[in-house]
Amino acid sequence: MPIPDIPGVKADRGLAEQFRAEVAHLLGRRNNNFPGAQPVSFARKHLRELMEHDYYLCEKTDGIRCLLYFTNDGPNEIHYLIDRKNDYYFVPNLHFPRHDDPSYQTFHTGTIVDGELVYDQEPGGLKLRFLVFDCLAIDGKSQTEKPLDKRLGYFRTLVMKPWEELFVRRHPEERQFLPFELVFKEMSFPYALSWMFDVKLPDLKHGNDGLIFTCKETPYIFGTDEKILKWKPAHENTIDFRLRLGDFPPLVANGNTGGGGGGGGPDFDAKPNFDLMVFHNKGDYRAFAPLHVTDDDWEVLKSVAQQLDGRIVECYKDAAGRWRFKRDDRGRPHFRDDKHEANHVSTVDKVLESIDDAVSKEDLTRSEQRIRDAFKRRQAERERRAKEEEAMRRMREEKRKRESVGGGGEAGGVAYNNGEPADKRLKPEPS
């Protein structure tokens, strides 16, 4: 499945800086860097983590990670996609109605959602969709301090449901004019692993390269989040390096090789050495390992007919322990032109730990019953505590009524948050 390009018009430097400052202020941050959370690679120790804390499970979509920023220009709503490079792309013809306006004319501003742009394969061709998996702010209020289930609950109630009511139920014919459709990414129980591998993944309409486990109990973290776990099959466990070309071999001075002989100069048809560089600090890249390039690989690299030196390329470690470039759907190197920098050395260390201490699909499915049992125990304990607290509340209320003079007033109602608990919206447990 092809990876989509980001639609829209890229904002110039000055305008982008203005938006970066707005977003930082909205989120209560002191810097203007890309605020998106980043996962860590799944290692064996994380099996215990899934047994001790509540997580959501979803498939890892192979698309373009973006934030979607809702703001306004005077009376008009405007929307920008924000990529990993922290560049802003104006996307016209989007409308996100508010939940409290029956006319569906008013719109959200000061809102940021996190998601993935992806092509879905439909009978009529490819359909561009934005899969939302988190929410950072709604209508000028940061949601990042709330746990994930509350963030998703607010998003579903305040943003997703009004959009679905307008564009899915009332005016579905209008969706064809949208640059992309909004979709809430399905979340499952963390122990629904066999169902995920056997039912969900084979039925996907888009590319997939693993699983994501996200803790439902914790706030949104800017940058690396140790509570977002990225599991990939061994062949998909990759690192993004900066590619550095070494010297080309010299021409052989016999008149019959490479660029036609003559000797002395470099033979640009011959295969050079390739170094994979790791990002340590700003401007500080250090050699990590050679890139293993076969003769066939070299022909593929030449066929790209683009600059290779300095590009960020996704690589995997083969069975012989050699680093190879990952190929895209066309068999070409998967260059990460959506990123300014290669993976930081700290990320590289975590991926290497994940590779050396790899957790297989079979390891996951063997653990699902223990994950389920632990999840159910925590759930039962929460329900027990909730019943005790409710009983205590009622006892206090009855005591207050008895002690009040003249009968007192009516008991106050239980306060509910906006948005149903996210657990109620999870996919049914697999049978």
Catalytic residues: 60
CA angle, corner 425, sides to 424 and 430, nearest 5?
A: 95
Instruction: Tell me the CA distances in angstroms from 402 to 226, 264, 396, 398, 411, one per residue in order.
Output: 51, 103, 10, 6, 12
Give the containing element (helix H, strand E) for 224: strand 223-231
Residues whose CB is less than 8 angstroms from the CB of residue 74 and which lie 6 or more positions away in sequence, other chains included: none
Residue 159: CB atoms within 10 Å: 24
Could you give the CA distance from residue 231 to residue 50 in angstroms, rounded to a whole number?
13
Instruction: Tell me the CA distances in angstroms from 249 to 246, 264, 277, 296, one per residue in order.
Output: 9, 10, 21, 18
Helices (H), 89-157: 148-155
Could you give the CA distance from residue 62 to residue 407 in angstroms, rounded to a whole number?
63
